[in-house]
Every structure is written in C-alpha cells, then in structure tokens.
C-alpha cells in the first residue's frame, strides 16, 4: 500500500471525523429532506467565524470562511441518502427504516465538516476565502442545479470548485484523478409503441406492439455499436418493458423505459437523434405509432485541466504513488452542474476495505460500507488544495 501523509491537524481530528460519518450514517435522510443532517452540521460549526446561508434549496448550506484578501474557492459535499434498507449490521447501522447512506455521502459530509474545523485551526497557513457547499439531493434530483440558481457560487464568486467521492471500486490508499470527462451524461427515455390489438391466432389486420417493441430494442443496440465512434463511450439500456394482456392476445400497446449515457455532449446528442430516428423509422416500417419522451439528466462531469493539476499536486502530497487514473464508469453525478459554472475537479477517493479486495462492495447496495481511514485522506487532500490555491502571505 502507498505511504500516506495525513495532515497533522486532520490526524488530530480523525476520531471526530469518523464520529461525524457514523452519526450521518445512523441518521440518513432522502433528497430535499436533509433537515436533521443540516441541523447537525450547523451545530458543529456554530462557534466558528463563518458566514452561513441556510436554508438554501430547503436544506442546503453554504458556509463561507473568510481569511484575508485572496480568491474564493468552493469545496462541495452532497447530503442525501438512498431509499434502501440496510442489511448489514455495523454498530452505526441506519436508524431510519428504508433509508440508508449507501453511496458514501455520509463520508463526504464528514470530510467536509472536518475540513471546516481544520481550516479554521490553520488560518495562518492560507489566505483568501473558502466556501463550503453542503448540497441536498444528489441522487437523481439534481440539488446542485438549484443551489447554483440560488447563488451558492456567488457573493463572493467562487473561482474554482472541488468535490470528491469515496470510491469502493478503488482500494483504500489510492486516489483517482484525471482531466476531462470522469462521469457520464445520464439521460432517461420512455417509449410508447401503439399498435392494433387482435386475436393471437389471426395477426392479419393487427399491428403487434410486442413485435414492434422487440425490433426497437434490437435497433437501439445498433446506436452504440454502429453509430458512435468506437473510441468514445456510450451506452443505451432498455431497463423496463410493459405491455400485453394475455398469451393469445396481440398487444396494442407496449411501454419501454431506458437510460442513455455518454461522456461527451456531442455523443449524447448523437444517441438522442439516433433514438428518435429509430423510433420514427420502425413506426413507418411496421405501421405503428411510436412516441418518444427523452429527458435530459445530469450533464457529463468534466474536470478542468488546470484544476486537475492542482488536485493532482494536492493528492500526491497525501497519497504519493497511490495517485493514478480513476476507475471510471458511465454513472452520473450532479457535481457536473457546478463544473459547468466554474473550473474544478472531481476526485475519486479509494475506499475499498482490504478484505473486500476480491469481491468489492458496490455503491448503492444494501450492505454498502467503506474504509473509514479514507476520510482523513480526503480531508487532507482538501487542505492541500486550499494551501496550494490560497497560499498564506500572497
Ligand atoms: Ni454518490
């Protein structure tokens, strides 16, 4: 394992940071309902000299720490949990039935809270302003977008933003950082195929919506394999099909739902237009009516090259050789919205426990957990980013 250099102030705070994480884990709340979570955060920082804006977008918090002249940078954590019943039994098991921090946002909150305390103690080592953004509803509802609309990045204006994700797809002790796209655009589509029903034994005169839907499912798979540049990434998945009444009745209507993902905006637009083309073409071919409803989800998460260098320098101070390419996926993240507004970097913090090496515990599973030693690593990286971008005496 690479040698880790935890910032001494973070080392002193580590027990507290782990206690924060366990508190959040025990008391998870769903998106836009993070009322107790917000109260707890505010209570922990009430004695510090911070400018607090709350509630922003119901439960969000922007805490601004000013420390002399200098630029303003933002650090961000997401607050929400998932509608999952925890099945493992750690001492800090969720006390809220059916709700669980199964993505690690409890860790992000603890890291950011620890960073607030540490930067307050380290005021002689940096100069400028740091905005701590605690945003609600990352899981699907795009809380980040609303926080931006309510001015989370303004007054004073942030010139850079950084966020991180505990990442069980990487071993503890590693940090994944790279410039460019790191998470995908995550869109959703619904398709209704309308045909003409009839007797299963007499297809003449009918338009079989099940058959047409099946053609469509096959056709959609050609978008990535035949239209997308093979050196680029995209995926189209149909996750749900519903239709039909009985074994001997030709269905008059079938509904399909799926997701489309891409790393680049142009690939996203290509997938979207080919989807429309496939629906129109198959409708004409088979005499059906096909309606497509395409919902834009989160945009691709794009790291800025300059800020990625800052993050790399900071991470190498902490994890040395443990810093490398992130484990990438076609998942989406609403950090993407912040990164559309200001340059920044989203960092993947290796958090798989050594005993999970062979069979890793994935995010969003009901027995999700991570190596809590990653918390001090993450907070140390944030400290080093601030010291890099906002050096004392500048
Ligand atoms: Ni997450």
Are 339 and 221 part of one and the same domain? no
Number of domains composing the chain: 2
pLDDT given at position 359: 63
Q: What is the 3-state secondary structure (H, E, C) of 31-76?
A: CCCCHHHHHHHHHHCCCCCCEEEEEECCCEEEEEEEECCCCEEEEE
Ligand 1: centre distance to CA 53 (Å): 24
Ligand 1: centre distance to CA 165 (Å): 7
Distance CA 291, CA 306 (A): 44
pLDDT given at position 357: 66
Distance CA 301, CA 308 (A): 13
Measured in whole angstroms, how far is the alpha carbon of residue 68 from the centre of its chain? Answer: 33
pLDDT given at position 25: 98
Spans of the chain, pLDDT less than 70: 1, 357-359, 394
Are 61 and 158 part of one and the same domain? yes
Ligand 1: centre distance to CA 255 (Å): 29
Structural domain range at position 17: 8-183+300-389
Could you say which of 298, 332, 357 is where a domain stops?
A: 298
Residues catalogued as catalytic? 80, 138
Are 48 and 100 part of one and the same domain? yes
pLDDT given at position 360: 75
Nearest to 255 by CA among 191, 210, 195: 191
pLDDT given at position 300: 94
Are 329 and 366 part of one and the same domain? yes
Could you say which of 298, 325, 352 is where a domain stops?
A: 298
Could you say which of 298, 328, 357 is where a domain stops?
A: 298
Q: Note whether residue 394 is domain-resident.
A: no
pLDDT digits (tens, 9 = 90+) for 219-272: 999 999 999 999 999 999 999 999 999 999 999 999 999 999 999 999 999 999
Ligand 1: centre distance to CA 102 (Å): 8
Q: Note whether residue 91 is domain-resident.
A: yes
DSSP letters along 158-200, please?
PSEEEEEEEEEEEETT-EE--SEEEE-EEEEEEEEEE-B-EET
Distance CA 246, CA 287 (A): 22
Ligand 1: centre distance to CA 14 (Å): 22
Please give the model's pTM, rounded to 2 decimal places: 0.91
């Amino acid at each position: 394992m690479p040698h880790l250099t935890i910032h001494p102030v973070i080392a002193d705070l580590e027990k507290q940071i782990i206690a924060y994480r366990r508190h959040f884990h025990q008391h998870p709340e769903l998106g836009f309902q993070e009322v107790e979570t917000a109260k707890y955060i505010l209570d922990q920082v009430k004695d510090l000299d911070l400018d607090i804006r709350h509630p922003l977008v119901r439960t969000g918090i922007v805490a601004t720490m000013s420390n002399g002249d200098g630029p303003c940078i933002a650090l961000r954590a997401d607050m929400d949990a998932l509608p999952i019943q925890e099945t493992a039994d750690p001492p800090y098991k969720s006390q809220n039935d059916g709700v669980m921090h199964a993505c690690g946002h409890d860790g992000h909150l603890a890291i950011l809270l620890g960073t607030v305390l540490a930067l307050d103690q380290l005021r002689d080592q940096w100069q400028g302003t740091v905005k701590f953004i605690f945003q609600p509803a990352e899981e699907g509802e795009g809380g980040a977008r609303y926080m931006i609309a309510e001015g989370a990045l303004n007054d004073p204006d942030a010139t850079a933003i950084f966020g991180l994700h505990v990442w069980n797809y990487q071993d503890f002790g590693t940090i994944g950082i790279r410039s460019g796209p790191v998470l995908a655009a995550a869109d959703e589509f619904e398709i209704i195929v309308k045909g003409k029903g009839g007797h299963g034994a007499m297809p003449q005169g009918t338009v079989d919506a099940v058959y047409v839907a099946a053609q469509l499912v096959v056709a959609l798979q050609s978008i990535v394999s035949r239209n997308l540049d093979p050196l680029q990434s995209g995926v189209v998945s149909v996750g749900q099909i519903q239709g039909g009444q009985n074994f001997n009745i030709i269905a008059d209507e079938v509904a399909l739902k799926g997701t489309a993902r891409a790393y680049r905006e142009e690939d996203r637009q290509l997938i979207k237009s080919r989807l429309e083309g496939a629906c129109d073409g198959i409708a004409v071919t088979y005499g059906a009516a096909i309606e497509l409803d395409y919902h834009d989800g989160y945009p691709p998460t794009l790291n800025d090259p300059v800020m990625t260098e800052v993050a790399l320098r900071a991470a190498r101070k902490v994890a040395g050789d443990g810093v490398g390419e992130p484990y990438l996926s076609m998942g989406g993240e609403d950090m993407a919205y912040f990164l559309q507004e200001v340059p920044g970097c989203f960092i993947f913090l290796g958090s798989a426990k050594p005993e999970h090496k062979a069979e890793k515990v994935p995010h969003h599973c009901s027995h999700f957990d991570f190596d809590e030693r990653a918390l001090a690593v993450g907070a140390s990286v944030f400290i080093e980013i601030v010291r890099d971008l906002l050096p004392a005496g500048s």
